[in-house]
């Protein structure tokens, strides 16, 4: 049973809505639209993304500035290439922070100095101390701890950015919120100093490989060139289908359905943790697709994850996502499992915990 974070319920993919949209697109599609196009992506999707971000994230974007990418992973890779070519040698990252994102940046030759995260988000004083000219953040729902970047930290970050720093904003699951109002994207406050990344991987399916990048002006031309050289642009038909879903309102209807579904699954996981893991502290419950639990200091979370896997439950040890010493814990995804499956899985994690103490 998979409790890995970042995985949506793929069995719930809206096949009927996608098929209907695809038929509508194909009915009206010109032959020339199937040729090589703008490497930034289909104009219809760039317009739809700009409108989606304005409605859902408070981001004002010119469709001309939207670059369609093969998910946030490609966006990070392209940005890493451009930053290194521009003389940047380091991009700071949150700690704990997404392991995969660090790997993407390091793979392009960037150092990733860690910056500690507390209950108000990334510590901007520690960011300054790294000397890194760029930082990768998940400010709306920090991965994996789930905190929101607080107002004071946002103001401090604005000051850092206005002095020349670049913020890479990974808005990976900001649409999934349950117990709090939406948090404004940093891009809405610091447009020229933020490279904004998003996708439908957590909203529809990661296998679609559809995301977007809003570059800062300084790197816009280089990022467009990097996308052109990488693959000449994403496949056009899925782009046009997604644009149709966005513009028709179908994607927002789907999001409302998902929020109700995910809330029930989150509640089931919290209830199971309270019953079977009473010593665990739950983090990040107000939004997202996962919970993080921290445990007593004497628990080896990698050993715990291995023991849970031996019982049939796949989790992420929190230490996978840290570079500095941190309390042990697990990162547990709930979106892809029914409440009944979650109720079966968490007791197995508790049994695994008993074996490693």
CATH number of the domain to which 289 belongs:
3.90.1150.10
pLDDT of residue 190: 85
Q: Which residues contact 127 (CB under 8 A, 6 or more apart)?
A: 92, 115, 135, 157, 160, 165
Residue 22 domain-assigned?
no
pLDDT of residue 352: 97
Same domain, 123 and 258: no
pLDDT surpassing 80 at residue 320: yes
pLDDT of residue 182: 81
DSSP 249: T
* 185 Rama sector, left if φ>0, alpha if ψ -120 to 50, beta otherwise: beta
pLDDT of residue 41: 98
Question: Do 46 and 68 meet the contact criterion of CB atoms below 8 Å apart?
Answer: yes
pLDDT of residue 191: 81
In this prediction, residue 221 has a pLDDT band, given cuts at 50, 70 and 90, of very high
DSSP SS3 for 88: coil
Q: Give the pLDDT mean for 204-214.
A: 97
pLDDT of residue 18: 98
Q: Which of 201, 217, 248 is the last residue of a domain?
A: 248
Which range has the worst mean pLDDT, 50-64, 173-187, 212-226? 173-187
CA-nearest of 119, 96, 146, 100 to 334 is 146
pLDDT surpassing 80 at residue 180: no
Residue 274 domain-assigned?
yes
Same domain, 238 and 258: no
Residues 152-179: pLDDT tens digits? 999 999 999 999 999 999 999 888 888 8
Looking at the 3D structure of the chain, how many domains does it have? 2
- Which spans in the chain are helix H? 15-28, 43-57, 71-85, 99-107, 124-130, 151-162, 220-231, 236-248, 250-276, 301-310, 339-356
Residues 294-317: pLDDT tens digits? 999 999 999 999 999 999 999 999
Same domain, 274 and 153: no
Q: Give the pLDDT mean for 17-23.
A: 98
Same domain, 55 and 94: yes
Q: Give the pLDDT mean for 178-190.
A: 87
Residue 213 domain-assigned?
yes
pLDDT of residue 174: 82
Residue 2 domain-assigned?
no
In this prediction, residue 57 has a pLDDT band, given cuts at 50, 70 and 90, of very high
Same domain, 264 and 221: no
pLDDT surpassing 90 at residue 335: yes
Which range has the worst mean pLDDT, 104-113, 125-134, 180-189, 273-282? 180-189
In this prediction, residue 257 has a pLDDT band, given cuts at 50, 70 and 90, of very high
Question: Do 102 and 77 meet the contact criterion of CB atoms below 8 Å apart?
Answer: no
Q: Give the pLDDT mean for 96-109.
A: 94
Same domain, 52 and 156: yes
Same domain, 178 and 113: yes
In this prediction, residue 33 has a pLDDT band, given cuts at 50, 70 and 90, of very high
Same domain, 157 and 65: yes
Tokens 């660090």 identify what position?
102
pLDDT surpassing 90 at residue 183: no
Same domain, 267 and 162: no
pLDDT of residue 338: 96
Same domain, 154 and 64: yes
d(CA 238, CA 244): 10
Q: How far is CA 41 from CA 13, 36, 60, 231, 242, in A?
A: 23, 10, 18, 11, 12
Same domain, 207 and 304: no
- pTM for the full predicted model: 0.95
d(CA 305, CA 307): 5
Q: Which of 195, 218, 248 is the last residue of a domain?
A: 248
**CATH classification at residue 214:** 3.40.640.10
Tokens 């993304």 identify what position?
49
- Rounded to an integer, what is the distance from CA 22 to the centroid of its chain? 26
Residues 35-45: pLDDT tens digits? 999 999 999 99
Residue 314 domain-assigned?
yes
Tokens 């890779």 identify what position?
77
Tokens 């447009």 identify what position?
191
Could you tell me the two tokens for 120? 């108000």
Average pLDDT taken over every residue of the chain: 96
pLDDT of residue 250: 96
Q: Which of 230, 248, 266 is the last residue of a domain?
A: 248
Query: What share of the chain in percent tops pLDDT 70?
Result: 100
In this prediction, residue 192 has a pLDDT band, given cuts at 50, 70 and 90, of confident
CB atoms within 10 A of CB 9: 17
Q: Which residues contact 54 (CB under 8 A, 6 or more apart)?
A: 60, 61
Same domain, 129 and 49: yes
Residue 214 domain-assigned?
yes
Residue 170's domain comprises 29-248
Could you tell me the two tokens for 126? 């520690």
pLDDT of residue 173: 87
């Amino acid at each position: 049973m998979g409790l890995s974070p970042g995985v949506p319920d793929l069995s719930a993919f809206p096949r009927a809505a996608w098929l209907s949209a695809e038929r509508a697109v194909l009915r009206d599609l010109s032959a020339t639209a199937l040729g090589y196009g703008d490497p930034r992506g289909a104009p219809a999707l760039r317009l739809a993304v700009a409108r989606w971000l304005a409605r859902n994230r408070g981001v004002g974007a010119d469709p001309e500035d939207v670059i369609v990418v093969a998910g946030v992973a490609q966006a990070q890779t392209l940005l890493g290439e451009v930053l290194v070519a521009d003389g940047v040698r380091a991009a700071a990252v949150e700690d704990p922070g997404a392991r995969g994102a660090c790997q993407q940046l390091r793979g392009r030759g960037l150092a990733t100095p860690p910056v500690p995260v507390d209950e108000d988000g990334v510590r901007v004083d520690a960011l300054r101390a790294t000397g890194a000219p760029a930082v990768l953040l998940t400010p709306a729902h920090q991965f994996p701890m789930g905190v929101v970047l607080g107002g004071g930290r946002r103001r401090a970050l604005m000051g850092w950015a206005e002095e020349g720093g670049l913020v890479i904003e990974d808005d990976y699951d900001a649409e999934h919120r349950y117990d709090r109002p939406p948090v404004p994207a940093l891009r809405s406050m610091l447009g020229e100093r933020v490279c904004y990344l998003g996708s439908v991987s957590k909203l529809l399916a990661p296998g679609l490989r559809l995301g977007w990048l809003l570059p800062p002006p300084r790197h816009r031309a280089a990022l467009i060139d990097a996308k052109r050289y990488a693959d000449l642009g994403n496949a056009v038909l899925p782009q046009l289908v997604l644009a149709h879903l966005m513009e028709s309102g179908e994607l927002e209807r789907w999001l409302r359905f998902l929020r109700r579904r995910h809330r029930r699954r989150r509640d089931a996981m919290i209830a199971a943790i309270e019953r079977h893991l009473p010593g665990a502290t739950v983090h990040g419950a107000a939004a997202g697709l996962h919970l993080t639990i921290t445990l007593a200091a004497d628990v080896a979370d990698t050993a715990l994850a291995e023991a849970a896997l031996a019982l049939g439950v796949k989790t992420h040890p929190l230490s996978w996502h840290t570079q500095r010493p941190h309390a042990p814990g697990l990162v547990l995804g709930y979106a892809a499992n029914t409440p009944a499956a979650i109720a079966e899985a968490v007791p197995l994690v508790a049994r695994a915990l008993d074996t490693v103490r």
